[in-house]
Amino acid sequence: MPVMGTFEWLTMGLIATVPYMLLIILVQHVLGYYLSKKYDPHFFKSPYFTEGEVAVYSSWPLSLIRYATYIVFAGFPWLVQKRRFKGHASPYLPGAYLKLGCQLWLICTVLGILSVPTLFWLMWLQPVTA
Amino acid sequence: MLPKQSLNTDTILYRVQPGDSLNKIINNYYGKVPLQKRNDIIATIQADNPKLKNPDRIQANQLLQIDIPPQYCATPRAQKLTPLLNIDKALLKPLQQQYQVASPKEKRTISLLTPMMIGTGAATTMIDKTFQTNTPLVAKIAELYNEYKENKITKGQYDSGRKALLTKLKTNLGPINALLNGKKSPNEVIRISRTKGSVPTRNITQQVAKMSKLSRVASGGGFVLSIAGLGIACNQIANTSDVQVKNEIFVESVGGFAGGLIYATSATLVLAIMATPVGWVGALIIGVGGGLAGIGAGYGAKTLYTTRGNKIDLTKITKVNQLCR
């Protein structure tokens, strides 16, 4: 195994974000699929989604936006209650474990998103080699 | 909510069986229907059964009033589509041969195009899904016409049903209609044929066949582009003996892929939280933006690697050089 410097470790970190983000998307699919069965009959229609949104969010890959909306609603309802799901609260919220799963997903996703520019920035700070 | 479907539904009293769910019952009578229609059917069932407060909770032996098609699964389903093109190595071979004789400048251009090709692959898959979802709407118009000719529905019911289906089709297809019909709107194309000696629903059948064909092309095209995009990057690594160049290609591809993924995930979250409606134009902008973000991130990663990186072989550490031979 060659000796790796800071730059190489940062590069490996950047490489690791790819499987990490793919895993995030996989979990998003699982959670979103489960939640959409529960929420679609109530929410996936006017006035919560426009007719155009219903058409484009019905199939992959844009269905991921619908899944993300449901996950955010289940994990941090206040984030989407101000706009899309105005006035909707307790009757549709999930159990404690599912809520925790949705919260973890959102936190991990935000960390993943922030990691790439951070890694780029740290790599940029490394000294230029000849 | 569905318009009260006196024109093409019967009403039954259904006794819920142990293990039944509303979705299962709908599947039994309507077959596989688009999500929006399923939601409409559930809303209709709720309206017909005021005591049904929660559609997720129905109990065995409960009686439900349900509107069903005159024949079970009478709703026309999408024409059976051939799943994906069979991709074999022979299809990629000409691509590889072309790449091997390309100049260094051409190879560089190809490497920049890789993330864009992967993004385009996702976009064409989306087009495929659109056709698959909407083909039943067109087929439904032919069914309505046949019902009208058999005097099962009135002219007014046929006209309003046709108008509603065409409006929905137009909204769903969006700019993709241009791929299908050029400058003509669905209303102009999906007409009853008045030509003597021809089948009246000929135009509609042709439209269904065209959508199915384009769907297959889009589905296959998206798959080919995605595979080709990834294959080219791998091929580049395999065909280069210079370890530094191998690493540059690797870092650029990974950076591009990571950039595209991050862009897509961020856009998803922002759209979910901000609740900004996304139409077809927005979807296309997101797709193109993902490709551009991929190119930018790939270029940035490569520049950083060439200017600041030491000479450690990342392709060897990650075993990519064994994977791409």
Rounded-to-integer distance, Cα A77 and Cα A99, Å:
10
Residues B139-160: pLDDT tens digits?
777 788 888 888 888 888 888 8
| Alpha-carbon gap, residue B283 to B269, rounded angstroms | 14
Sign of the CA dihedral running A55, A58, A59, A61 = positive
Question: A120 or B185: whose pLDDT is higher?
Answer: A120
For residue A21, pLDDT over 50 is answered with: yes
Give whichever of A53-57, B98-102, B146-150 has the largest mean pLDDT.
Answer: B146-150
Cα Rg of chain A (Å, integer): 19
pLDDT exceeds 80 at position B43: yes
Instruction: With CB atoms and an 8 Å threshold, state whether B254 touches A64.
Output: no
Q: Say whether B36 sits in a helix, a strand or coil.
A: helix
Using CB atoms, which residue from A22, A50, A69 is nearest to B272? A69
Write down the pLDDT at residue A27: 92
Residue pairs between chains A and B whose CB atoms are closer than 8 Å: 159
Chain B residues in contact with A61 (beta carbon < 8 A): 122, 125-126, 264
A92 vs A36: CA distance, rounded Å? 12
Cβ atoms of residues A34 and A129 within 8 Å: no
Cross-chain CB nearest to B312 (options A2, A80, A112): A2
A87 CB within 8 Å of a chain B CB:
no
Q: Is B174 close to A45, i.e. CB distance below 8 A?
A: no
Chain Cα centroid distance, residue B266: 21
Q: Do A59 and B300 touch (CB under 8 A)?
A: no
Q: Check: CB of residue B307 under 8 Å from CB of residue A128.
A: yes
Q: How confident is the model at residue A129 (pLDDT cuts 50, 70, 90)?
A: low
- B79 pLDDT more than 50: no
Q: How close, in Å, is residue A66 to chain B by CA atoms?
A: 7
**Pick from B35-49, B74-88, B130-144, B212-226: least confident:** B74-88
pLDDT at residue number A58: 72
Q: Does B277 touch chain A (CB under 8 A)?
A: yes
**Which three-class secondary structure state does DSSP give residue B293?**
helix
Question: Nearest C-alpha of chain B: how many angstroms from A52?
Answer: 6
Chain B positions touching A5 (Cβ under 8 A) are 310, 312
Residue B85 clears pLDDT 70, i.e. is over it? no
Q: Do A15 and B305 touch (CB under 8 A)?
A: no
pLDDT above 70 for B129: no
d(CA A16, CA A20): 6
Q: Is the pLDDT of residue B218 over 60?
A: no
ipTM entry: 0.77
To the nearest whole Å, the CA of A59 is away from the closest chain B CA by: 6
Orientation of helix A6-43 relative to helix A63-75, angle to 10°: 90
Q: Is the pLDDT of residue A126 over 60?
A: yes
Put simply, the answer to whether B274 touches A51 (Cβ < 8 Å) is no
- As a whole number, mean pLDDT of residues B112-139 equals 61
Among partner residues A7, A11, A53, which is closest to B278 by beta-carbon distance? Answer: A53
Mean pLDDT for all residues in chain B: 68
Q: Are A56 and B133 a contacting pair at CB < 8 A?
A: no
How do residues B267-307 score in pLDDT, each as one tens digit? 777 777 776 655 555 666 666 676 677 778 888 888 888 88
Q: Give the residues across from B67 on adjacent strands.
A: B11
Which tokens is B27 given? 């599947």
- Residues in A closer than 8 angstroms to B309, CB to CB, are 7-8, 11, 129
Instruction: Output the pLDDT for position B142.
Output: 77
Q: Is the pLDDT of residue B225 over 60?
A: no
Among candidates B10, B28, B16, B23, which has minimal Cα distance to B68?
B10
Is the pLDDT at B116 greater than 80, yes or no?
no
pTM over 0.80: no
Q: Quick check: A46 pLDDT over 60?
A: yes
**Residue A69: closest CA among chain B residues belongs to which residue?**
B272
Q: What per-residue confidence (pLDDT) applies to B58?
A: 84
Q: Which of residues 60-119 of B touch A (CB under 8 A)?
A: none
